[in-house]
């Protein structure tokens, strides 16, 4: 495979121990259960692309965005309480970004359309909460605090009627950011 093709796909290497020690597992696509490849994962290296990693199997639990770089002890760096159990490669989107956010579940209440990053929905739109959304174009990260801080949730194109159905019970999202090709 050419180097260009590899960069388009993304590549992440997971290590059982901190500081890139112990057994390793190289991944270039989604992996729903890391435990079949490693006993645990405490450090990783993203060589190309962007990935979401999860602290539970099957893309569940807390989510963390990882872009190109070295994470020698990501658990203390990111405040993770558990090891990485699954990961999802984020495809790069080159085009327009569009997402409609709704104040209530099932696309109810106030609606606003985003085409760029929003660091605080309360200040920009006078919305107190975002409980559902429709991602029309691009891939997005949503954060439970303003200024792109706090817990994260990866959103790819699709309708999300109720964040509770995704294991995000009681979660409020206050800022949103586009995932673009600048993550490399």
Q: Report how far residue 118's alpha carbon sits from residue 131's, in angstroms, rounded to the nearest whole number.
A: 16
43, 26: one domain: yes
pLDDT tens, 141-154? Answer: 999 999 999 889 99
Q: Enter the tokens of residue 3.
A: 């180097």
User: Using 50, 70 and 90 to split pLDDT, how confident is the model at 107?
Assistant: very high
Q: What is the pLDDT of residue 1?
A: 34
Count how many Cα atoms sit within 13 Å of the Cα of residue 8 in the half-sphere of its side chain.
6
User: Using 50, 70 and 90 to split pLDDT, how confident is the model at 168?
Assistant: low
41, 74: one domain: yes
65, 122: one domain: no
Specify which of 56-70, 108-122, 165-179 reaches the highest per-range mean pLDDT: 108-122
Report which of 155, 149, 154, 156 is spatially closest to residue 175, judged by C-alpha positions: 149
Which ranges in 53-178 belong to alpha helices (H)? 74-78, 121-125
Number of structural domains in the chain: 2
User: Using 50, 70 and 90 to split pLDDT, how confident is the model at 170?
Assistant: low
76, 22: one domain: yes
78, 112: one domain: no
Q: Evaluate whether residue 183 is within a structural domain.
A: no
58, 129: one domain: no
77, 134: one domain: no
> Which comes out higher in pLDDT, residue 61 or 159?
159
Collapsed DSSP state (helix, strand, coil) of residue 130:
coil
Domain closes at, from 90, 119, 140 = 90
Q: Report how far residue 181's alpha carbon sits from residue 164's, in angstroms, rounded to the nearest whole number.
A: 30
39, 82: one domain: yes
86, 16: one domain: yes
Q: Evaluate whether residue 107 is within a structural domain.
A: yes
Q: Evaluate whether residue 184 is within a structural domain.
A: no
Q: Evaluate whether residue 2 is within a structural domain.
A: no
Q: What is the pLDDT of residue 8?
A: 56
Q: Evaluate whether residue 1 is within a structural domain.
A: no
Domain closes at, from 90, 119, 151 = 90
105, 168: one domain: yes
* Distance in Å from the first CA to the final CA of the chain: 19
In CATH, what number is assigned to the domain containing residue 66? 2.60.20.10
Q: What is the pLDDT of residue 79?
A: 61
Name the region of 20 (left: φ>0; alpha: ψ -120 to 50; beta: rest). Answer: left
Please give the share of the chain, as a percent, with pLDDT higher than 70: 87
Which DSSP letter does residue 121 get?
A: H
29, 84: one domain: yes
Residue 173 contacts by C-beta under 8 Å, 6 or more apart in sequence?
101, 121, 129, 130, 142, 143, 144, 153, 163
Residue 35 contacts by C-beta under 8 Å, 6 or more apart in sequence?
57, 85
- Residues of the domain holding 151: 98-178
Q: Enter the tokens of residue 105.
A: 């579940």
Domain closes at, from 90, 114, 148 = 90
102, 71: one domain: no
Q: What is the pLDDT of residue 184?
A: 46
Residue 125 has pLDDT above 90, yes or no: yes
Average pLDDT over residues 101-127: 96
Q: Under a CB-based contact definition with an 8 Å cutoff, are residues 66 and 89 in contact?
A: no
Residue 6 has pLDDT above 50, yes or no: no
């Amino acid at each position: 495979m050419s180097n260009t093709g590899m960069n388009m796909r993304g590549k992440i290497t997971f290590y059982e121990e901190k500081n890139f020690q112990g057994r390793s597992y190289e991944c270039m696509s989604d992996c729903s259960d890391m435990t079949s490849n490693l006993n645990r994962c405490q450090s990783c290296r993203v060589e190309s692309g962007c990935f979401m990693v999860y602290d539970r199997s099957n893309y569940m639990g807390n989510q963390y965005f990882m872009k190109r770089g070295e994470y020698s002890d990501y658990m203390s760096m990111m405040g993770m309480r558990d090891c990485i159990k699954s990961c999802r490669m984020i495809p790069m989107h080159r085009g327009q970004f569009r997402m409609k956010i709704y104040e209530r579940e099932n696309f109810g209440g106030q609606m606003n359309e985003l085409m760029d990053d929003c660091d605080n929905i309360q200040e920009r739109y006078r919305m107190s909460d975002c409980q559902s959304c429709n991602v029309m174009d691009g891939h997005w990260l949503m954060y439970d605090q303003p200024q792109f801080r706090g817990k994260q949730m990866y959103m790819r194109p699709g309708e999300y009627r109720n964040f509770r159905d995704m294991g995000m019970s009681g979660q409020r999202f206050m800022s949103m950011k586009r995932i673009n090709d600048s993550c490399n």
